[in-house]
Copies of this chain bind each other. A is one copy, B any other.
Amino acid sequence: MTAEPTTRLKIMELAQDLLRDKGYNGFSYKHIAEELDVKNAAIHYHFPSKEDLGVAVIARERRRFKKWIARQSIRELDVWGRLDWFMSIYEHYSNGGTRVCYLGVLESSFDAIPPELQNEARALNTEMLDWLTELLEEGRQQGEFQFESDAASKAVLVISVAQGSLQIARVTSSDSFFSAVQQVKRDLGFQS
């Protein structure tokens, strides 16, 4: 676990942004090279193939998510606090309405991304869904959340809303994301 060199990090950072703005097939090594003022070949040194780069970006996000949910400061929050934290991930993704979440992007062009990237997307999706399912179940047992369906279905619903409203916000430049989050919370029984 040595400190990663700056160029490698910069590439990943930019690739992450480009992925959310343009989709996997919407950006190229040339875009990255020009923006970072390095040569095409330098990127290939760090990430031999574009698939490697894509996988690295999503795999890092998976590691981050795992680290976050293991953190004491998250675990000690009550169920509403954890729900808010989860939604804040999407809010952070959104970048003020200009960006959407990775999963929606990758899922939307699923048949046009490399196999390993498909696997990463699937894995991140599953991990987020599983965590949220557990949270919803716990909240219901505590009497904090009210819903009728099974927790897994509710988790899909909540993530769908976050993902979808972010996408809609992008073209309508409205605050649809925040309004959607509020509605989800109210639906779960939040008293404002």
Binding site for B on A (CB under 8 A): 21-23, 25-27, 100, 103-105, 107-113, 118, 121-122, 125-126, 129, 148-149, 153-154, 156-157, 159-165, 167-168, 170-172, 174, 176, 179-180, 182-184, 186-187
Contact = CB atoms under 8 A, between A and B. Distances in A.
B125 A154 contact: no
Main secondary structure of the interface of A (DSSP, over half): helix
B153 A164 contact: no
Given A23-B25, A112-B21, A107 B163 contact: no
A26 B112 contact: yes
B182 A107 contact: no
B125 A172 contact: yes
